[in-house]
Chain A
Amino acid sequence: MKAAFLSEFASVRSTLAQMALIYLACGIFICIGMKSVLGMVGAISAMTPFFLTFTFAGYDTLNGWERYRAALPLSRRDIVLGRYANVLACSVVAAAASVVAGLAIAAFAPSLPIGEELASNLAKEADLALLALVAVSALAVMLIVTSFLLPAVFRFGMNKAMRFVPIGMFVVIMLGGLALPNIAGMPDVLVQLDAWLSDPSNMPLATAAIAGITLAVFAASCLVAVRLYRSKDL
């Protein structure tokens, strides 16, 4: 798996540098425009899984790269694991970097020549637990979307996956939305959950729970992708 991970990583290494520059520009724009570091942390954390998924999927369709890669001494399982590991690792690193950047911006805002109102708004968000929750939540949402997308991309390719996965997800979300209120006791559970999340002392546990659930979904998606990709003719 290490070989597949390193091979895949080498293919996007230069793209990651471009991505960092894009994030820098977006970060400055969001911090000034929204007068908040939370928006920046959320945006950067959310962008990375999609950015990498589309980059990798795009590469697969270029010049027969997918077939060539499968001709290298990498098993199908390792190719899939390598991609999931790359998406996860790069996304976690980007989210962590955004949290560190958010804390740094909030800490140094009062001493920057950016106006008193903006500086005080940014400074009051110097809260590691809150920034971490935002980063993990944003990352979690996009990783779960990616969990639906990646197996389809592996099996059917980018074009078909982009055609059918959004429809499938829309149907699942709509059905879930319709079903949830009808499950006995669910409205009460949601109200209690909201109250629990509103307590700042529960934030670390909430962050860990979101991360755990997301990782479980991501891992299940990876297993499905391995099964689907194993039988694909290349």
Chain B
Amino acid sequence: MNDLIKARGLTKSYGGTTVLDSVDITVPAGTIVGFVGANGAGKTCTIRALLSLMPPDSGSVELFGEPLSASAGDEAAVRAKRRIGVVLDTCPFIGDLSVKTAGDVVKAAYPTWRADLFEGLLRRFELDPKRKVKDLSRGMGMKLQLACALAHEPELLVLDEATAGLDPLARDEVLDILRDFVSDEAHGVLLSSHITTDLEKIADIVVGIDHGRILFDLEKDAITDGMGVARCRAADVERIVSGGIAEEGTLRVLRHERSTDVLVPDRFAFARRFPEIACDACSIEDYLQLVLKGEPR
């Protein structure tokens, strides 16, 4: 499988603050990679480094197999970006422009821009070409960005918090578009979001980041289908830890005021071993919480 994005060891500091710390991330063709983390965790910084908006202090980025670096020059980045569609968290177009003119501004940058495809996307998204950008709702602005991102037939979509602030219907519509896009095996999506339910719906791989460091990089099904969260009493924790259901140090224990959650790697094995303890399927949010805040046991 080809990797559309392959970044290794991305590190970036401002003064004494490290915003990216040896970040590795890969987006294989045919997959949607969900990039999850709290606000300020490093998602946007990573995307900026991937798109050459912020040169990292160290590390390497390959887009479509071609390395990007200062020595490779601007041309390599320009060539790669022609194959990428970008959607940012806010509609970036100038408010006074019409929807059609916003398309013209972007069109000039892409040699492969298809005016008919852009017009078709505007019709599909029910966007009036004459309407001013400043009069668009957040959802409409996001759809305009998507239309611009798709009209040059990219192979890779990079979306930074694209679904944040959208109502559930608009979010589902965006997710449907992404599913359609990635039905072509040569395509891929990197979707950063702190809305983990969106990633549960469409992601193939989930990458978690916190304080600029990658916490995990797993297939989504490994989290949501296999793992579980045992809801138990504090007194049960030692029994679970010593129960032989996981290797030492791989369980995560998060104590709440009246209960304790334990992240278990195989909820079916856990249910067989401890049938009296409730064990829920693990959501991405549960996993993130437990990895971030849980005590390793």
Contacts and interface: CB of A to CB of B under 8 A. Distances in A.
A70 interface: yes
B95 A63 contact: yes
A62 to B, nearest CB: 6
Given A10-B108, A233-B54, A234-B53, A73 B96 contact: no
A182 interface: no
A11 B94 contact: yes
Nearest to B75: A75
Contacts of B106: 7, 72
B88 interface: yes
Given A64-B88, A70-B53, A233-B48, A75 B77 contact: yes
A6 B78 CA distance: 16
Contact of A13 (B53, B77, B101): B101
A68 interface: yes
A65 B109 contact: no
A208 interface: no
B81 interface: yes
Contacts of A59: 94
Nearest to A12: B94
Nearest to A60: B94
B104 interface: yes
A4 interface: yes
A83 interface: no
A39 to B, nearest CB: 30
B60 interface: no
A14 interface: yes
B108 A71 contact: no
Given A14-B101, A233-B48, A234-B53, A68 B108 contact: no
B53 A67 contact: yes
Given A63-B92, A73-B82, A6 B53 contact: no
Contacts of A70: 51-53
B289 to A, nearest CB: 30
Main secondary structure of the interface of B (DSSP, over half): loop
Interface in A72-92: 72-78
Contact of A3 (B77, B90, B97, B108): B108
Interface string A30-73: 00000000000000000000000000000100111101111111
A14 B95 CA distance: 12
A72 B55 CA distance: 16
Contact of A74 (B79, B96, B97, B109): B109
Interface string B73-88: 0110111111010101
Contacts of A3: 108-109, 111
Contacts of A72: 81, 86, 106, 109-110
Interface in A201-234: 231, 233-234
Contacts of B74: 75-78
A63 B91 contact: yes
A75 B52 CA distance: 10
B104 A233 contact: no
B108 A67 contact: no
Nearest to A231: B55
A234 B48 CA distance: 7
B218 to A, nearest CB: 28
A207 to B, nearest CB: 34
B76 to A, nearest CB: 10
Given A11-B97, A62-B95, A234-B48, A67 B110 contact: no
A230 to B, nearest CB: 8
A35 B95 CA distance: 40
A67 B75 CA distance: 18
Contacts of B105: 7, 10-11
A65 B35 CA distance: 23
Contact of B109 (A13, A73, A76, A231): A73
A67 B88 contact: yes
B94 to A, nearest CB: 5
A59 B134 CA distance: 13
A153 to B, nearest CB: 16
Contacts of B86: 68, 71-72
Nearest to B83: A73
B93 interface: yes
- Among B52, B54, B91, B92, chain A packs the most CB atoms within 10 A around the CB of B92
19 contacts: A3-B108, A7-B108, A11-B97, A14-B97, A62-B94, A64-B90, A65-B92, A65-B93, A67-B48, A68-B86, A70-B52, A71-B53, A71-B86, A72-B86, A73-B81, A73-B82, A75-B77, A75-B78, A233-B55
Given A14-B101, A75-B75, A233-B53, 5 more contacts: A63-B90, A64-B90, A68-B92, A72-B110, A77-B74
Interface of B: 48, 51-55, 74-75, 77-82, 84, 86, 88-98, 101, 104-111
Among all A-B residue pairs, the 5 with the closest Cβ atoms: A75-B74, A68-B92, A7-B108, A6-B108, A73-B81
